[in-house]
Amino acid sequence: RTVRKWLPALTTIVLAGAVITSGLTVWQRTRRTAVAQEQYASGLALLAQDRADEAVIAFRGALAGAPRDNQARAQLGLALLRTRHFDEASVYLTQALRGDPDNGPILTGLAEVAAAKGDNQRAADFYRRAFAGDWPPGSEARRDSAQLA
């Protein structure tokens, strides 16, 4: 009989604990996503200031917080390229290309990696694909440089 008296209260406590735990999990994921977005924006700003080493750190943070973010992966690869870390840049850019196979900036980055390694044929192939690829608005000058390469 005593158990029957406590069963509703115990059930309520267990359910409340589950709801609180679930809410904390959602809050943590939301916060991690927000921090990743802040890191990504910081990385873009640092690249614009020609601070590529610091941008690499910011993009690593963005990717750690949002591991499926292909834009963060691509930007990390492009920042690594600017710091002349060609092998690591190639890894991130190749992964990003799988998610966006017609992305002009990614293709240009892979062309620059190939050229830096002396693989001129592969560089030319990537540049051709880059010129025909998709480019974000306002990047016409960069697209034209892919054609000239």
Band of the pLDDT at 143, cuts 50, 70, 90? confident
pLDDT at 3 over 80: no
pLDDT for res 107: 96
Compute the distance between CA of residue 39 and CA of residue 62 in angstroms, rounded to an integer: 5
Q: What is the DSSP letter of 103?
A: B
Calpha distance 66→147 (Å, rounded): 33
Q: Classify each residue of 49-84 as buried b or exposed e, where b means 16 or more C-beta atoms within 10 Å of its C-beta.
A: eebbeebbbbbbbbbebbeebbbbbbbbbbbbbbee
Residue 34 has pLDDT above 80, yes or no: yes
| Contact in structure between 146 and 110 (CB atoms under 8 Å) | no
Q: Which amino acid is at 29?
A: R
Whether 32 has a pLDDT exceeding 80, the answer reads: no
Total-model pTM: 0.76
Q: What is the per-residue pLDDT for 149?
A: 58
Mean pLDDT of the chain, nearest integer: 88
- Pull the structure tokens for residue 145: 């440089």
State the amino acid at position 10 in one-letter form: L
Give me the mean pLDDT over the 11-28 stretch.
74
Range 16-32 average pLDDT: 71
pLDDT over threshold 70, residue 75 = yes
